[in-house]
Chain A
Amino acid sequence: MSLLEKFLALIGVERKRQVKKVPILGIEGSGKSSLIVTLGQYVSVRGLGNVTEESLAAFNVLLPYVMRGEPMAATMRYDPVALQLRRIPESATTSRDVDLLLTSEDIPGQDFRLLARELESNPNLERSSSELGAILDRLGKLLTACDGLIFVVDIARHAAEGERALWKAISEQIAPIMTAIRLATKRNGSIAGKPIVFVFTKPDLHGLPPERVDQVFRRSLAVPLGLLAGLGVPVHRVDVRCAGWSIDDPDLVGLGIDVLLSNLGHALGAVSPQESS
């Protein structure tokens, strides 16, 4: 708790804490819905936060698919899921108070696919359609309004190609999105100082060791990561398995969710740690 908050608490004034917004982005089928549903289950079970009331219906529809590890339809355009995060575990005994809103509703996966396809042939979206311009404008506003970003990347779709899958996934998924972010920031947004967490999903399917994925990620994206570093953007990368878990596993251990939340909390500079209750 900051000095100002302590003072305000002393004089009986409760300061309204500012909600930090972290959108989850990625092309459709990359696992955004699975991630947020798994996150919702994780934080609800551990009392770290809750799924927002408006998202409960969508959450309940998606939950069985995620637990069974089945593919789901690209529903996010119509059924946004938002997650209110109140605390982030820091260690076995400590946690941080936060006020995070994780949401996957802002830029639907289909829009990113559309944008990525257009960016392949028209990297500057020169005289592009109004639909793409609108997507880019929305992305720019989102970048300005958010406090950090989570990118979901699926490398399992090229699993048969082994390690080459990473390069392919980066070429197909991350590169266009990075370009889109650059364009959006040029247009009307700002990303300076806001952390980006790359979440690589389906580690159980691609089977590559995390260290190897990390090395390839940093090597292949060396140029844009250098540029982001120049803008003061911290970049993190985590592996998260966010499908196929069982409801019988009450703690959801070993999925990588705890690492994701911890990275996010550190990157966002959450309030000082306090003893967990």
Chain B
Amino acid sequence: MADVLLRYLQTARRLDASLVRRLFLQDQDLLAAGVEQLVEAAAARVDVRSQHEVVSERDEEHPASHRRSVRFFDEPRPRPPRPLNFEDRVEEFPIAGTLREFGCPRCGASGKLRCSTCSGSGNVRCGSCSGSGSRDGKRCGSCSGRGVRTCSTCDGDGRVRCPRCSGEGELAAWQTVVHTYTVQDRRRESFPLPDPPAALVRALATWLGGHAEGVESFDGADAERHLGYRTETVDAVCGHAERSCEALEAEAQSGARGRCLFLQSSRYLAPLGYSVLRQDERASWYWLLGRGAAAIEVLPWRRPDPVKLLGWLGTAGFLIVAGILVNAMLEGATIPGGDWWTYGIGAIASVAAAAIGLPRAFARPRLVRTVVVVSDSELVSPFLPCVAALGSYVGAFHVRDSAWVAHLDALQGGVRSERQSDSITVQLLDGRRVRIVQVAQRGDGKAFSVAASGVDGVVYLGGRTEDGANALEAAAGAPAPASARLELTEAELAELQREWVAGMQDDNEIRARFRRLWKPVADVLGEACP
């Protein structure tokens, strides 16, 4: 599964720097958003395809000669679709035992009916001469002076063919048994949260369109084999998906749309990670569906800033008003639709709107500095929980993320994910913010080259700085940012964590420990250690 946090940082950096955002959208520094929750989950889809059979009977009645072209059966002999050979088909079986022949009751078995046009006379009144035989004193050419014409419906016969028996006078009736085979598809998705955004549902369809490898079952072990990880959320999604599957199968077998002959359930799982982020008062969700570079991002909705829009509308309004006035002055013409003073008020209002909105559009974005922490150890480093706890304790900053409960658990030795990067955003005493990202996938150059491009500095935990810098430079394909090394080994960090939990009592000692932790961060940022 792709690293949610690293992908988010990469996207946040790009979006924060985008001109469209600065000019039109709300000042929401995505990079500064605190992480409230980082969840490794999954999205599931269940496709249930079922084959149904509906048997019905139909009474048929045809002219007697028609029966000779019909193949009659003593009993229905349907060929139902073979299992898992889904097809739409209709089979009809006229039953021989139900066949009977009888005279057509409509025409009295004569096959003829009196012509309704000529009432059986075979002639109709001539329309050209109105039956007089002459027109304008001359003999009518249409009826040759007879005043009537031969009826075109019955051709002068006075009788027409009976439509029920097609003139045969005899009818044949029988019953036909109809077997209708239809295929029905049912689909249901499961996500970690109810009512997922429509974009996420579309992303799942897109991902499964290219990576539709089904899973045997939604059992935890199968899911883990497929995803490569297993969390409580994955289990919850799998449980929901399995229940959906059972519901769809029950619905298919309920017989509401005919007898279910067989069905096939396909189960799909896609890796899904999401992060709940909070920027000031707003919470937003960042979703990452899929694996690797092909993973699909579903970004938080970014709203237009009404004040910035006001500024642009004011500018446009002012330019229009100014254009009209200049045009009127140059041509010596009267200005359309009003006097000078109305345009003056319009111009003043437009300038005011522009003065309010444009400064915000061109304001410098809040600077969030980013430091990446890279460890050469295979262990999950307690660096971030220790920095958060000691820094807050000594009052050097306060942590803006709300994931402190997770850090509290981590300090007590709780298990943390090794697959996902971790981060904290701290607000220094002067109001500036620093985001510290601890890259999870050590040794994978691609993973942290994503985070390293454009960061303000890199702190190496253990190992040699030069080697790390060279590796980073090679991975990122660009000069490595400023780097520093923490003068504490992983074992010493673990010992610090234990001491903090067990009872570090001396405040001066705590301050000294914090300075030691923070110094490399301050160094790469080019600031004095608090």
Contact residues of A with B, CB < 8 Å?
A: 121, 123-124, 126-127, 163, 167, 170-171, 175, 179, 182, 186, 212, 215-216, 218-220, 222-227, 229-230
Residues of A within 8 A of B427 (CB): 230
The minimal Cβ–Cβ distance linking B435 to chain A, given in whole angstroms, is 16
| Given A124-B283, A127-B193, A219-B500: A226 touches B405 (CB 8 Å cut-off) | no
Question: Which of B402, B407, B500, B503 interacts with A212 by CB under 8 Å?
Answer: B503
Q: Which of B386-431 contact A (CB under 8 A)?
A: 388-393, 395, 397-400, 402, 404-405, 407-409, 411-412, 427
In the assembled complex, the CB of A112 is this many whole angstroms from the nearest CB of chain B, namely 16
Whether the Cβ atoms of B276 and A124 lie closer than 8 Å is yes
Residue of B at shortest CB range from A120?
A: B405
B residues at A contact (CB < 8 Å): 36-37, 193-195, 232, 276, 281, 283, 388-393, 395, 397-400, 402, 404-405, 407-409, 411-412, 427, 500-501, 503-505
**Cα-based distance from A81 to B435 in the complex (angstroms):** 46
Given contacts A124-B283, A182-B402, A222-B389, contact A216 B503 (CB under 8 A): yes
Q: Which of B195, B388, B395, B412 is A229 in contact with, Cβ under 8 Å?
A: B395
Least distance between A234 CB and chain B CB atoms (Å): 14
Q: Is the CB of B37 within 8 A of A123?
A: yes
User: Are the C-beta atoms of A175 and B194 separated by less than 8 Å?
Assistant: no
Contact B392 A170 (CB under 8 A): no
Q: If the complex has contacts A124-B276, A223-B388, A223-B404, are A171 and B397 also in contact, measured as CB distance less than 8 A?
A: no
Chain B residue at minimum C-beta to C-beta distance from A230: B398
Are B194 and A226 in touch, CB under 8 angstroms?
A: no
Q: How far is the CA of A261 from the CA of B411 in the complex (A)?
A: 34
Q: How far is the CB of B471 from chain A (nearest CB, A)?
A: 32
Contact check, B399 vs A226: say whether CB atoms are below 8 A apart.
yes
Question: How far apart are A163's CB and chain B's nearest CB, in angstroms?
Answer: 8
A-B residue pairs in contact (CB < 8 Å), sample of 17:
A121-B232, A124-B36, A124-B37, A126-B193, A171-B408, A179-B405, A182-B402, A186-B283, A219-B503, A220-B408, A223-B404, A224-B404, A226-B391, A226-B399, A227-B399, A229-B395, A229-B398
Cβ-defined contact, B193 with A218, below 8 A: no
Closest to A185 in B: B281
Beyond A124-B276, A126-B193, A171-B408, is A226–B395 a contact (Cβ under 8 Å)? Answer: yes
A223 touches B193 (CB 8 A): no
Q: Known: A216-B503, A222-B390. Contact between A127 and B412, CB under 8 A? A: no
Q: Is the CB of A226 within 8 A of B408?
A: no
Contact of B408 among A175, A212, A218 (CB under 8 A): A175
Closest to A121 in B: B232
B234 to chain A, nearest CB (A): 14
Contact B405 A171 (CB under 8 A): yes
* Given A171-B412, A175-B408, A227-B399: A222 and B501 interface contact (C-beta under 8 Å): no
* Distance of A163 Cα from B390 Cα, bound (Å): 20
Which chain A residue has the least Cβ–Cβ distance from B396? A226
Residues of A within 8 A of B398 (CB): 223, 226-227, 229-230
Q: Is the CB of B194 within 8 A of A123?
A: no
CB neighbours of B232 from chain A (8 A): 121
Are A175 and B504 also in contact (CB < 8 A) when A222-B389, A225-B392, A226-B399 are?
A: no
Contact of B276 with A223 in the complex, beta carbons under 8 Å: no
Distance in angstroms from A170 CB to nearest chain B CB is: 7
For residue B504, which residues in chain A have a CB less than 8 angstroms away from its CB? 219
Shortest Cβ distance from residue B505 to the other chain A in the assembled complex, whole angstroms: 6
CA gap between A46 and B505 in the complex, in Å: 38
CB of B501 within 8 A of CB of A223, answer no
Q: How far is the CA of A66 from the CA of B161 in the complex (A)?
A: 107
Give every chain B residue within 8 A of A171 (Cβ-Cβ): 405, 408-409, 412
Inside 8 A of A170's CB, which chain B residues have their CB? Answer: 408
Interface pair B393/A218, CB less than 8 Å apart: yes
With the chains together, A179 CA to B398 CA distance in Å?
16
Known: A171-B408, A171-B409. A219 touches B393 (CB 8 A): yes
- Among B388, B391, B392, B409, max chain A CB count under 10 A is at B392
Please state if A167 and B501 are interface contacts (CB–CB under 8 Å).
yes
Closest chain A residue to B282, Cβ basis = A186
With A171-B409, A186-B281 as given contacts, are A179 and B395 in contact (CB-CB < 8 Å)?
no
User: Chain A residues with Cβ under 8 A from B388's Cβ?
Assistant: 222-223
Residues of B contacting A225 in the complex (Cβ-Cβ under 8 angstroms): 392
| Closest chain A residue to B401, Cβ basis | A223
Q: In angstroms, how far is the closest chain B Cβ from the Cβ of A184?
A: 13
**A215 with B505: CB separation less than 8 A:** yes
Q: How far, in whole Å, are A219 and B513 apart by their CA atoms in the complex? A: 14
User: How far is B391's CA from A216's CA once the two chains are assembled, in angstroms?
Assistant: 16
Closest Cβ of chain B to A222, distance in Å, is 4
